[in-house]
């Protein structure tokens, strides 16, 4: 079974080259589809993931990272704030 690709950097990571970690929400878009990631306000180990404002799920931090990478692999792009 092949190993899942674990993302090195996610926009919510802290570090010297991270400029998006201060945001409360990060959105990946692919055409009309979009997926919003946000940290749970009560527990930073959990992420809220919302697909097209219809499907709302909560994931642990490592699961959110893997989901983020899978979406990037499917062609989703991070929407940068204006």
Question: What are the domain boundaries of the chain?
Answer: 25-79
Per-residue pLDDT tens over the stretch 13-70 = 887 777 888 889 999 999 999 999 999 989 989 999 999 999 899 999 999 999 999 9
Per-residue pLDDT tens over the stretch 56-75 = 999 999 999 999 999 999 99
Closest CA to 49 of 14, 10, 1, 5: 10
């Amino acid at each position: 079974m092949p190993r899942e690709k674990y993302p090195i950097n996610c926009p919510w990571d802290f570090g010297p080259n991270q400029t998006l970690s201060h945001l409360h929400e990060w959105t990946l878009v692919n055409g009309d589809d979009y997926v919003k990631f946000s940290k749970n306000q009560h527990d930073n180990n959990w992420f809220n993931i919302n697909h097209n404002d219809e499907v709302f799920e909560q994931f642990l931090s490592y699961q959110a990272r893997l989901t983020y990478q899978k979406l990037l692999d499917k062609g989703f792009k991070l929407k940068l704030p204006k």
